Amino acid sequence: MIKLRDVSKWYGHFQVLHDVSLDVRKGERVVICGPSGSGKSTLIRCINRLEEHQKGEIIVNGIEMTDNVKNIEKIRRNIGMVFQSFNLFPHLNVLDNLTIGPMLVRHMKKKDAEELAMQFLEKVRIPEQAQKYPLQLSGGQQQRVAIARSLCMQPEIMLFDEPTSALDPEMIKEVLDTMIELADSGMTMICVTHEMGFARTVADNVILMADGKTVESGTPEEFFGNPKNPRTRLFLEQIL
Ligand code: ATP
Ligand code: MG
């Protein structure tokens, strides 16, 4: 479903990604972790062209990500993304945050978009917050709204970039529970996260990035139980 072949990227003279290759099958859950500055955000942002790679191939559902605007739009239509900062529209209430995308992009009627939005608010367990504004919600609630908003676009793939790292500890669990339910529903997911409990429970494949390279990749059993690369061992010692 997602195929990266020798993807490299530079910011000026600085090479941030070095020949990264990655395969994600339909329904697969991949967790990417690694030290700060190792290129995790850059990598997943390249998958929906929020960043541009300069070498190698990124192919999503058989379409290669190039400069072709039509292809970029086709790929983006299938990908939802959730960020560390929730990026909700502060001047719109929760329901309007959820309906604006389907109405503008998918030309849904308001009533249908609202029905869909309420379905996903139930899924993330905050239907009662529909009329509130983002700043009237807790961080965990805002992040669940952000997840529901992505899901309203009915993507086939969800990308998460440290969705819980801006949250207080007591709110992390509610967001992780939402992500676990999403995983159980069969969603294809790539999650940048340091929540290793989540990785153990949910991931099919755990990847460590360091210095713009994928240095280790394996099932949770392999990754945590028998890491091959010394950098993985060092990383795990530091965070576990
Ligand atoms: P973190 O865990 O802190 O989020 P990360 O693994 O997501 O880190 P990236 O944000 O992908 O790392 O950044 C990788 C490297 O690229 C860093 O050295 C960063 O300073 C650099 N970088 C990121 N964005 C830019 C940019 N727009 N221009 C120049 N350099 C950048
Ligand atoms: Mg990052």
Q: Quick one: pLDDT band at residue 66, thresholds 50, 70, 90?
A: confident
Rounded Cα–Cα distance for residues 200 and 154 (Å):
26
Rounded Cα–Cα distance for residues 44 and 39 (Å):
9
Query: What letter represents residue 196's amino acid?
Result: M
Per the confidence metrics, is the pTM higher than 0.80?
yes
pLDDT at 183: 96
Interface predicted TM-score (ipTM) of this complex, two decimals: 0.97
Give distance in angstroms: CA of 38 to centre of ligand 1: 7
Ligand nearest to the CA of 16: 1
Report the range of poorest mean pLDDT among 68-72, 122-126, 143-147, 156-160.
Answer: 68-72
pLDDT in tens, 84-97: 999 999 999 999 99
Task: Give the number of the atom of ligand 1 that is nearest the alpha carbon of residue 42.
Answer: 11
What residues are in contact with ligand 1 under a 6 Å CB criterion?
11, 16, 34, 36-42
The 3-class secondary structure across the chain, one letter per residue, is: CEEEEEEEEEECCEEEEEEEEEEECCCCEEEEECCCCCCHHHHHHHHCCCCCCCEEEEEECCEECCCCHHHHHHHHHCEEEECCCCCCCCCCCHHHHHHHHHHHHCCCCHHHHHHHHHHHHHHCCCHHHCCCCHHHCCHHHHHHHHHHHHHHCCCCEEEEECCCCCCCHHHHHHHHHHHHHHHHCCCEEEEECCCHHHHHHHCCEEEEEECCEEEEEECHHHHHHCCCCHHHHHHHHHHC
Give distance in angstroms: CA of 218 to centre of ligand 2: 21
User: Is residue 135 predicted with pLDDT exceeding 90?
Assistant: yes
Q: Quick one: pLDDT band at residue 67, thresholds 50, 70, 90?
A: confident
pLDDT mean over 125-152? 96
Ligand nearest to the CA of 51: 1
Closest alpha carbon to 134 in 202, 206, 86, 78: 86
> Nearest C-alpha to atom 4 of ligand 1 is from which residue?
36
CB 148 within 8 A of CB 125: no
pLDDT in tens, 171-215: 999 999 999 999 999 999 999 999 999 999 999 999 999 999 999
Average pLDDT of the residues of the chain: 95
User: Is residue 116 predicted with pLDDT exceeding 90?
Assistant: yes
Give distance in angstroms: CA of 83 to centre of ligand 2: 9
pLDDT in tens, 10-60: 999 999 999 999 999 999 999 999 999 999 999 999 999 999 999 999 999
CB 141 within 8 A of CB 168: no
Chain center to CA of 223: 20
Residue of 41, 54, 165, 213 to mutate, ligand 1, most atoms within 8 A of C-beta: 41
> Nearest C-alpha to atom 1 of ligand 1 is from which residue?
36
pLDDT at 128: 97
pLDDT at 240: 78
**Pairing mode of beta strands 29-33, 188-192:** parallel
Instruction: Tokens for 216, please give them.
Output: 């280790």
> Nearest C-alpha to atom 24 of ligand 1 is from which residue?
42
